[in-house]
Amino acid sequence: MSNNKQVELASSELQKTPAQPKNKTSAKGKKETEVEAVSFFSLLRYSTWKDYLYMFFGTLGSAADGSSMPLFALFFGSIPGDFQSGNGQAIVDAASELGLKFLYLGIGSFITAYIGFVCWMIVGETQGIEIRKRYFKSLLHQEIAFYDSINPNELST
C-alpha cells in the first residue's frame, strides 16, 4: 500500500482516527508541526442523506452543463451544410432554426449550471456548519489549561 492507504480506510476507521499533528524538527532546529493529509472521502463523513441527494443532483446538473459545449460544437459544425443551398429563403430558415437551437441550448445550460451550483453550495454550507458545530463542541470540552497555553486569536480562526 502506498499513498492510497487513506482511500482504502473504512469510514468507521476514519471517524476513529482524525488527522493528528506530527512534530518534526527542521534543519534550523525549530519544531514544525506537520498535519497528515486527509482523504477526499473523509471530508464527507458528516454528510446526511439529504447532502448525498444534493450531491447527486448537483453532479447531474454539472454534467449536463458540461455537455452543452460539445453540442455547441455540433451546431457550429452544421452551419456550412445548412448554408450551402444558395437559396435565400432556405438560408434564412436554416439560420432561424440554428438560432433557436442556440437559444434553447443556452437556456438549458443556464438551468443545469444553476442546479449544479445551488446543490453543491447547499452541501458545502451544511458541511461547514456541521464542522463548525463539532469544533465548538470540542472547544467547550477542553480543560482550562488548554486555553492558558494557546493564543486566544487562534481559537476563532
Which of 71, 73, 64 has the alpha carbon at shortest distance from 111? 64
Residue entry with cell 450551402: 84
- End-to-end Cα, the chain, rounded Å: 35
> pLDDT tens-digit profile of 103-152?
999 999 999 999 999 999 999 999 999 989 998 898 888 888 887 888 87
Where are the domains positioned within the chain? Answer: 1-43, 46-144
Question: pTM above 0.85?
Answer: no
